[in-house]
Structure 1
Amino acid sequence: MFAIYSSAVMSLQDEECKELFAEPRSTLLSKFISATETALTRANFMATTNLVVLQTLVLHLLSVRNVKEPRANWTLRGVAIRIAQVMGFEWDGTYLGLLAFETEIRRRVWWQLKLHDFRTAELCGLVKFRDLDMGPERTQWSTNVNDDQLYPGIDALADESNKITDFAFVALRCEMAKFAADCVAIFHRQGKNASQWNLDVSANDREGRGNAAKILEETLETKYLRYCDLSQPLHLVTMLVTRYGLNVVRFMTHHPRRWDSIKHTPTDERDMVWGVSLKLLEQHNIALSNPQIKRFAWNAAYFRQWHAFIHVLDTLRADPIMPDAEKVWRVISTTYENTPDMITNMKKPIHAAMGNLCLKAYSDREAALRTQNTCLPPTPNFIMQLRQQREVARAMRQACIAKNSRSTPSVGQSSRNAQNITPNPDTRITHALDDANPTDSSYATLLPDVAQPGITSESDPFGFFSGLDDTYSGNLNMDLDLLLAQDYNMDDTATELINWKQWDAWLGESNVMRP
């Protein structure tokens, strides 16, 4: 029940939580996540063979995926996968001689874990599809049937539907995973690995993968999308996410990291990647802001394609006054409006680096317009916020330096104070307006001795993962080093060559807890 509470609160915005429960979202999440972890600990989940306990852990992983660091999430998800493996979930129920209902539930739990494991690995800067062993005895894909066709005691699973069902959203994700599994299998036969998906230099490989993507699109259109009723929110979000997923495949297949710079990219390739990147930004904005599918917006933030966003800003730096630049900056402005944590939470390297790249691209645009003696348009609100934020950070840095210079250093400390004067991304300075996780003892009575947030013990298996980083709290969280360190700034040569490995590293550290 606490896992269900956590998942429900996770899907709400802060304003909705205050209206429904008279408490901030961060407070509710802190309470229910803590209670869930206590309940799982008491159930000895690390050694469980109980399906309900595993289902609870799966729900818990969903509820914390945006509020805990990706590396901790990936590690904890690995624990859940190992628990499932011990329970035999990687083997299909038909092979194990299980009843139809249990077979299908096990499939759904297993693939829920695996599909999210792929994405979490990607957020850690790792290869997305790491292990897709689809042998004949392995767990088969979940069956696309309506929920009312699944119940304990059924003799056999209903025939899979080729139309929209209650399960269609997940079924489409499974279809995308099947496509990835086939591609990874081809890589293995060629002696490659999944990391080479977007590094191919062979035109034949790209053409082959492009043809496979077209077949995938035709399959999805025939089996599912043509039956979508766009007046139904679930159908609309299913179609939107499918289009988004297909564009992700196109972007990965033609990833700009294969070229030294934008200037060295063939024109047709450049136009194709540019168009796909813009579509990804626009579709993501729709998923976050369309009132008809607002109830599903919580799922969108987890699947933002950062590399497409980076490529758009990099292109705007290379060509600041391109014909559709004004339109693109409106899309970027909408992106920041839909995801305010990209400004309010500067503890994340990816947010700091993206903000710096964004400011550099906009400054280049302003300089280019001045060169043409063109009247500058009003500065977007998000640009003013990012600039002001960095001005505050510089002022705080200077105050820290001045304070250090006035203080009398103790023996052996002079050298350390001298080092503090130079911006160093490894040096941590006190954050401004740090988040707090309020607690309320009234909820502690729901479970005896419920662990309070931030308080862990040696016997608590969740102790390492206990910190919350609720990016929706709305407070300004700044890490001065991330904002100002040279490593996160884009110098004038960065237009010539985007260091994708560095961006992967920043993305992998996107939620690393900072003191």
Structure 2
Amino acid sequence: MALFGPAPQGLHKTGKLIQGSGKTRYIDSNIWRNLADHMGLSSDEGEDDYDEHEDTPASAEPLDPASAAFFGPATPSQNLLNAHPSYETAVKLWKLYVRNVDPICKLVHVPTGKAMVEKAAADPSAIDRVTECLLFAIYHFAVASTSERECEDTFGESWVVMQRRYHNATRQALVAAHFLRTTELAVLQAFVLFLLPMRNRYDPHTFWILTGIAVRIGQRMGLHRDGEEMGLNPFDVQMRRRVFWQLLPLDGMSGQLSGTGIAISADSWDTKQPLNINDEDIWPGMETPPVERQGATDIIFVLARTEIGKFHQKVKPQLGLWSKLWEAQDQAAIQTALSDVERHMEEKYIRYCDFGIPVHCMAMAMCRGALQSGRLRVKLGMAKNHGSTPDERRLLYTLASKILDLDIAVHENASLQRFDWHMKSFFQWDPLIWMLNEVRREDTVLDREEVWAKATHIYKCHPELIAGKRSDLSHPELNPGHRSIDLALGRLTVRSWDATQKQRPSPIPEPSFITELRKVMTRKEISRHSSTTQTPSLPANSVNVAPQPLPEIPVSNYINGNMPWGFATYGALDNVNNDLDWMFWDQMLQEPSTFPNV
């Protein structure tokens, strides 16, 4: 089976890309296509009368009613000129961005970005609105990527204060740049840079709408069509590919967490993955396409994630839904496919990785963790359908342990703390859920103390799993409260601990994370009881509120059967609309006896 095939055959390719003045607009309707053929339209013709303001100074305070109404300013409008940092601070923020953010997403061309920051920081009053929104998005992301201590040590200000400042400034700058109607790639880059660090701070439903808007803006610019085929210059081709291949995982992940499972259709685009090159290999205005390198480059993490995502997209339609794989007795086929892609990743990326380079470590962890997760899911599905012997359960434990040990190692590696903002967005659900259910069985084959030592490590590395620890800003709209999946996992963890205590010769003091989880559950029960004794009403932030008490709600009501098996592995496979049997976990989360042999 070939891992990677040609572009989707169903893609409609009659559209035209109109470009000019640094803007691109994709049209694929008969009316506009005919006008373009006969009248030679420009990239912004037919937009409206507001675009004339885009190149005016940023301080001119434009009004875009649609954008302003959509984003709703968190604070009264301010003169953004006052929000710009000093030259020294701007340079520090840029260096933090290059160190902590750029290796993971490669959304900004570093040489061009460096020149932009230095020029703008020297005279903020002279920059246009497009540049300003990209600058504030970079500043905001740089702060978001730091810890409270690092922020205080570097800037002498609290993380919350700086995050609030640049969060508000970015929102206002996006509105000023008319982001809902933009045809400027830099504005879309700013919007995506704004969304990435907000994954855990906006509630899942709102975030899915926001990523959908980013996708629509990208489609309006024609990012779903490969720029090389559309005749763009080599630099624009590569940058558009980079932005598009960030939109895919962002939209896929948000669709899963919101419960819709809806993301960009695989047959609606033909954009190739970016070339394996360093930023120094491309520059604005270049005329000759860059020569692809062999080995590790600046973009290694992005490309490794892209290749694994392409593998999943390729194999899924051939082998059917992952959740039906074992029912069709295709386990051998998927195991072979996993071995093939593992060999491909080892030969193309992993063998070139240097353990001394942090982003190389992330790439290796992502590749190996995602593939191990795939193997675990296949074996869990087999166990669900056919039961499992003690030896098979020991093998499951070995696989699950490898995945969790990798997660722990990544989080405890000091050199990788710079990527903590990214790692906290993903978690290894499958192995921990299986372990917690297995350990409370009376006939478990696991070493209970070893399992709980591992669980303690996991909760230490992922304090965000303890519901109520997800809020770090004072903005109400950035307080997602209790994620339903976190609550379900927390309840399972407490029940498994209690079952283990009963099976011990004598109970031992419970770990602090269990105590904290009990407090969360108690608060939820009190809240539920209180809400049932009052007249029902719709709170202002009702999108963050679970509509019913948790114990009676299957997890699939929230995750709706679509969590990808690589979703937890540092964003490896969240760039396609994958399917998994979350009904399997629903039953296990509520009552493991449903599967007596699992």
User: What TM-score results when the alignment is normalised by the length of structure 2?
Assistant: 0.63
Contact 2:326 2:381 in 1 (8 A): no
> How far apart, in 1, do the equivalents of 2:341 and 2:554 lie?
40
String of CA shifts for 1:297-322, please: whole Å, max 9, x gaps.
Answer: 22112121323322221222225764
Q: Is residue 287 of structure 1 aligned with residue 410 of structure 2?
A: yes
Measured at CA, do residues 480 and 45 of structure 1 come closer, stay the same or move farther in structure 2, by a change above 3 Å?
A: closer
Q: Hey, what does 2:147 align to over in structure 1?
A: 13
Q: Hey, what does 1:229 align to over in structure 2?
A: 354
Shift in Å at residue 291 of structure 1? 0.6
Q: Is residue 298 of structure 1 aligned with residue 421 of structure 2?
A: yes
Q: Hey, what does 1:111 align to over in structure 2?
A: 245
Q: Hey, what does 2:210 align to over in structure 1?
A: 76
> How far apart, in 1, do the equivalents of 2:294 and 2:508 lie?
51
Contact 1:353 1:488 in 2 (8 A): no
Shift in Å at residue 93 of structure 1? 1.2
SS in 2 for 1:162: coil
Measured at CA, do residues 139 and 287 of structure 1 come closer, stay the same or move farther in structure 2, by a change above 3 Å?
A: same
String of CA shifts for 1:69-106, please: whole Å, max 9, x gaps.
Answer: 22222221111111111111111111111111111111
Measured at CA, do residues 488 and 176 of structure 1 come closer, stay the same or move farther in structure 2, by a change above 3 Å?
A: same
Contact 1:233 1:293 in 2 (8 A): yes
Q: Hey, what does 2:69 align to over in structure 1?
A: none
Q: Hey, what does 1:349 align to over in structure 2?
A: 484
Q: Hey, what does 2:274 align to over in structure 1?
A: 142
- Which amino acid is the alignment partner of residue 168 of structure 1? I
User: What TM-score results when the alignment is normalised by the length of structure 1?
Assistant: 0.72
> How far apart, in 2, do the equivalents of 1:391 and 1:203 lie?
43
SS in 2 for 1:160: coil
> How far apart, in 2, do the equivalents of 1:163 and 1:205 lie?
34
Structure 1 residue corresponding to 2:512, chosen from 362, 366, 381: 381
SS in 1 for 2:466: helix
Structure 1 residue corresponding to 2:447, chosen from 299, 303, 324: 324
Contact 1:46 1:83 in 2 (8 A): yes
SS in 2 for 1:379: coil
Measured at CA, do residues 498 and 269 of structure 1 come closer, stay the same or move farther in structure 2, by a change above 3 Å?
A: farther
Shift in Å at residue 173 of structure 1? 0.6
Shift in Å at residue 140 of structure 1? 0.8
Q: Hey, what does 1:362 align to over in structure 2?
A: 497
Q: Is residue 121 of structure 1 aligned with residue 186 of structure 2?
A: no
How does 1:243-322 map onto structure 2 within 5 Å? 243-256=368-381, 259=384, 264-265=387-388, 270-319=393-442, 322=445
Structure 2 residue corresponding to 1:174, chosen from 306, 309, 329: 306
SS in 2 for 1:198: helix
Q: Hey, what does 2:366 align to over in structure 1?
A: 241
Q: Hey, what does 1:207 align to over in structure 2?
A: 332
For structure 2, the 5+ residue unaligned runs are 1-134, 469-480, 556-580, 591-598
Contact 2:489 2:589 in 1 (8 A): no
Measured at CA, do residues 93 and 147 of structure 1 come closer, stay the same or move farther in structure 2, by a change above 3 Å?
A: same
- Which amino acid is the alignment partner of residue 510 of structure 2? T
> How far apart, in 1, do the equivalents of 2:553 and 2:417 lie?
34
Measured at CA, do residues 377 and 322 of structure 1 come closer, stay the same or move farther in structure 2, by a change above 3 Å?
A: farther
Q: Hey, what does 1:162 align to over in structure 2?
A: 294
Q: Is residue 184 of structure 1 aligned with residue 331 of structure 2?
A: no
Measured at CA, do residues 344 and 86 of structure 1 come closer, stay the same or move farther in structure 2, by a change above 3 Å?
A: closer
- Which amino acid is the alignment partner of residue 199 of structure 1? K
Shift in Å at residue 64 of structure 1? 1.2
Contact 1:240 1:287 in 2 (8 A): yes
Q: Is residue 333 of structure 1 aligned with residue 464 of structure 2?
A: no
For structure 1, the 5+ residue unaligned runs are 402-416, 431-453, 455-463, 470-478, 491-496, 507-515
- Which amino acid is the alignment partner of residue 247 of structure 2? L
Contact 1:201 1:258 in 2 (8 A): no
Shift in Å at residue 332 of structure 1? 0.9
| Percent pairwise identity | 29
Measured at CA, do residues 159 and 388 of structure 1 come closer, stay the same or move farther in structure 2, by a change above 3 Å?
A: same
